[in-house]
Structure 1
Amino acid sequence: MWLDTLKSFLYIAAELTVLFIVISFVISLLQGYIPYEKIEKKLSGKNKGIAAFAAIVFAFITPFCSCSTIPVVVNMLKKKMPFGIVMIFLFASPVLDPTILTLMGVVLGWKVTIIYTVLTTVFSIIIGFTLEAFGFEKYVRNVVMTGYEEKNQQFNVKLALKETFDLMKSVYPYLLIGALIGSVIHGLVPTEWISTVFGKDNWWLIPIAAIIGVPLYIRLSSMIPISKILIAKGMALGPVMAMIISSAGASLPEIILLKSIFKKELVVMFILSVITMSTVSGFIFYLI
C-alpha cells in the first residue's frame, strides 16, 4: 500500500513538474508582448464594460496568489481607479492564474476548466460592481503600501527562464504538497468511503466545502492534484470546485492584509462574497 502511494506521488509529481516548467516558460515569454499601459488606460476608462473586461485580462496576465494581489490593489487605489474595477481585479486575480488554469485543463479536463473560468469571471464582475453600487468604497482606508513594481520590460528567453525559476520557488512546493496529499488519499483512503460520504447525493457538502476552503489556505497549485484524486475516488465535482474557488479566492493571510487597507465592513463583505461565489459555482457544477 505504501509502495503504491510512493509510486503515485512520483508519477503525479513528475507529470506536474514537466507541465509546470513548460507552461510557466511559455507564459513568461508571452507576457513580454502584453501592452500593460494600454490595459491600465482601459481600467480607468469611463466605459464600465470595457474597464471590467480589462480588469479580467489584467487579473489573468498577473498570476498572483491571494496575498500578493494586495499590493497591486493598493497601487490601483492610489491611482484613483474606479472602486468596482479594483474589486473585480481583487476577486479575479487569485482564481485566474494562466499557469494553473492550463494545469487544471490537463488534469481535470478542459470542459471543467472553461466552466470554472466563466463562473469566476462572471461572479468577479457581478461582485465588484455590486460592492460599488452599495457604496462600499467608503470602507477603504488611506494606506500606502510599498514593494510593488509594475512590469514594463520586454521578456527574452533569459528573463523568461529567470521568471520561471522564481515562480517555481514560490509555487512549486505547493504543487509537491498537493501531489503528496493526493497520493496519500489515492493509496490509503478507501474509494468506497469517499464515494459514500462525499458522493453526488450529498449536496449539503458544497456550502461546507466553500466555508472550510477559506481558513485552509490551500493554493490552486496544491488543489489541482488533490482534486484529481478526490474526483477519481468518487467525490462529487460540486464540493471539490467550491473548495478550490474559496481556498484560492480568500485566505487567512490575505484577510489579515485586507484589514490593513479595508475597514471591517468591507472585509466581512469580501469573505461573504468569496463564500457565495464558491457555493453558487459549486451548485452549478453539481447540476451540470
Structure 2
Amino acid sequence: MIEFLQSFLWIALELTVLFIGISFLISLLQGYIPYEKIEKKLTGGNKVLASFAAILFAFITPFCSCSTIPVVVNMLKKKIPFSIVMVFLFASPVLDPTILTIMGVVMGWKVTIIYTVITSIFSVIIGFSLDKLGFQRYVKNVLMSGYEEKNQKFNWRYALNETWALMKSVYPYLLIGAAIGAVIHGLVPTDFITKWFGHDTWWLIPVAAIAGIPLYIRLSSMIPISQMLILKGMALGPVMAMMISSAGASLPEVILLKSIFKKQLVIAFIASVITMSTISGFVFYFV
C-alpha cells in the first residue's frame, strides 16, 4: 500500500507540474493564433493546404473525442469540404498540444514525434479516402449547439482561466491514469507483463487496437498507464495501438456521431480508427 501511494504521488506530482505549466504557456500563445486565416485555408480550393490547416486546427484546439463533435457540425454547416472535416475529426482527439508535450517528457520525444507524424498522415489519408468513397451522403442534416469560436487576445487572465478550465475537464483523467499506473507499478508482476505482452507477437497489436475502443481511456490517462506498461516490459506496438484507438474513438463519441452520421459512416469511422491504430502499432513494432 505504501509503495502504491508513493508511486501515485510521484506520478501525479510530475504530471501536475507538467500539465499546469504547459497548459498555461499554450493558453498564452493561443492569443497569437490567427483562427480566421486558418478557417479561410480550410475552405480554400487547395485541398493539400486545407488538410494541413485541418491538422493545425486540430493541434491548437485541445478537444477530447466527445467535444470534437460540435466543432465538426459547425464545420459542416460552414460548407467546409467533407474530406477536410474528416481529417479534423480523426486528428483532433489524438493531437492535443498539452498531452503531446507531456508524452514527449514522459515517453520520449522520438516516440512522440513518430506518433504525431503517423496520426497526422493517417488522418489525412482516411479523410480523403472517405470522401472519395462517397461517404458524404451518410451525413445527416442536423443542427447542434455548444461550440463557440475563440477570438481572444493575448492576456494573462485569459490564460489562467483557460488553464483552470482544462484542469477541471482533463486533470481528473490524468489522476485516474496516475492511479492505474501506480497499481500497475506496484501490484502487477513484471514477469506477468513480460511473459504475455512483452514478446513481439504480431496479433497483440490488432487485439490492443480493438480493445482500446470500448475502454474510453482518454489520451491524458493513457500516458502514465502506457509508461508503466512499457517499464514493466510490455511491447511498444500494442501500447501505442491501444493508446491511439482509445483516444480516437470512444463509446460516448460513437453515440454522439450516430446523431449526425448514418450507421454506414459510423461503422466506417470505427473501422478507420482501428485500422489507423493497428498500422501505427506495427510501425512502432518495426521501428
Q: State the TM-score, normalized to the length of structure 2.
A: 0.99
Alignment of 1:55-134 (within 5 A): 55-134=54-133
Structure 1 regions of 5+ residues with no counterpart? none
| Counterpart Cα distance in 2 of 1:86 and 1:110 | 29
1:233, distance to aligned residue in structure 2 (A): 0.3
Provide the C-alpha distance between the structure 1 equivalents of 2:197 and 2:190, rounded to a whole number of angstroms: 10
Q: Which runs of 4+ in 1 moved over 4 A?
A: none
Equivalent residue for 1:269? 268
- Partner residue in 2 for 1:184: 183
Letter in 2 for 1:125: V
Contact 1:215 1:251 in 2 (8 A): yes
Query: Match of 1:220?
Result: 219
- Cross-structure match for 2:229: 230
2:46 corresponds to which residue?
Answer: 47
Whether 2:175 is the aligned partner of 1:196: answer no
Residues 120-199 of structure 1 mapped to structure 2, 5 A cutoff: 120-199=119-198
Q: Tell me, yes or no, if the aligned pair for 2:200 and 2:285 is still in contact at 8 Å.
A: no
Identity %: 77
Alpha-carbon distance between aligned partners in 2 of 1:111 and 1:142, rounded to the nearest angstrom: 42
Normalised to the residue count of structure 1, the TM-score between the two structures is 0.99
CA RMSD, 1 decimal: 0.5
Query: Does residue 244 of structure 2 align to residue 245 of structure 1?
Result: yes
Give 1:138 shift. 0.3
Is the contact between residue 55 and residue 91 of structure 2 (CA under 8 Å) also seen in structure 1? yes
> What is the alpha-carbon distance in structure 1 between the residues aligned to residue 97 and residue 132 of structure 2?
30
Counterpart residue number, 1:257 = 256
In the aligned structure 2, how far is the partner of 1:248 from the partner of 1:147?
21
**What stretches of structure 2 of length at least 5 have no aligned partner?**
none
Paired residues in the alignment total 287
Indicate if the aligned counterparts of 1:65 and 1:94 stay in contact, CA closer than 8 A: yes
CA distance in 2, matches of 1:55, 1:204: 33
